[in-house]
Amino acid sequence: MTNYAKINHADRTIVMDRAFAKNAQIVGSKEYEQLQACRKDYPNYSVVQRKIKRNAAKECYRGLTYVYMEEYIASHEHAAIFRRKYDELRLLAECHSIRYPTIKKWFLNTYPEVARFGMENLDVREVPLTDAA
């Protein structure tokens, strides 16, 4: 994807992406020259940086790291069985055939109580010990 500046006539703005804005700060750069040309062509338009829209409904499991998963598995019943499966998934992840989202999905399916609690500021020592059959 290339850096860009886009003219939004409806809002009367010149919209830049983050990389373009950073490069436009350097006097004499290609982006600087393009921005100055846009400002010359549209002197009454304001210059803004594009903001990425965030999905507020997206489930976020902040803090759900591999270390957290390992400690959580170790603190529950049948830890040896689930740890073997987890280690197998981690080995596959190191070989690049699967990624973190696959391991996260397995972990949340195996321990659905984690998904219910969420992961906001949850310390491993605060996790309630429940049976995970």
Q: What is the pLDDT of residues 10-23, one digit of tens each?
A: 999 999 999 999 99
- 123: confidence class by pLDDT, cuts 50, 70, 90: low
pLDDT given for residue 81 in this prediction? 87
Is residue 129 over pLDDT 50?
Answer: no
Least reliable range by pLDDT among 2-11, 24-33, 63-72, 118-127: 118-127
CA distances in angstroms from 55 to 36, 49, 58, 59, listed in the order given: 34, 19, 6, 9
pLDDT given for residue 130 in this prediction? 47
pLDDT given for residue 92 in this prediction? 84
Least reliable range by pLDDT among 2-6, 13-17, 115-119: 115-119
Q: Tens digits of per-residue pLDDT, 62-95?
A: 788 889 899 989 988 888 888 888 888 888 888 8
Q: If you average pLDDT over residues 85-107, what whole number do you get? A: 85
Cβ distance 104 to 119 under 8 Å?
A: no
Residues 6 or more apart whose CB falls under 8 angstroms from that of 109 comprise: none
In angstroms, rounded to a whole number, what is the distance separating the alpha carbons of residues 123 and 63? 9
CB-CB neighbours of 87 under 10 Å: 12
- 119: confidence class by pLDDT, cuts 50, 70, 90: very low
Whole-structure pTM value: 0.48
CA distances in angstroms from 26 to 23, 32, 41, 83, listed in the order given: 6, 6, 20, 52
Length reported for the chain: 133
Cβ distance 120 to 62 under 8 Å?
A: yes
DSSP calls for 12-67: TEEEE-HHHHHHHTSTTSHHHHHHHHHHHH-TTSEEEE--PPP-TTS---TT--HH
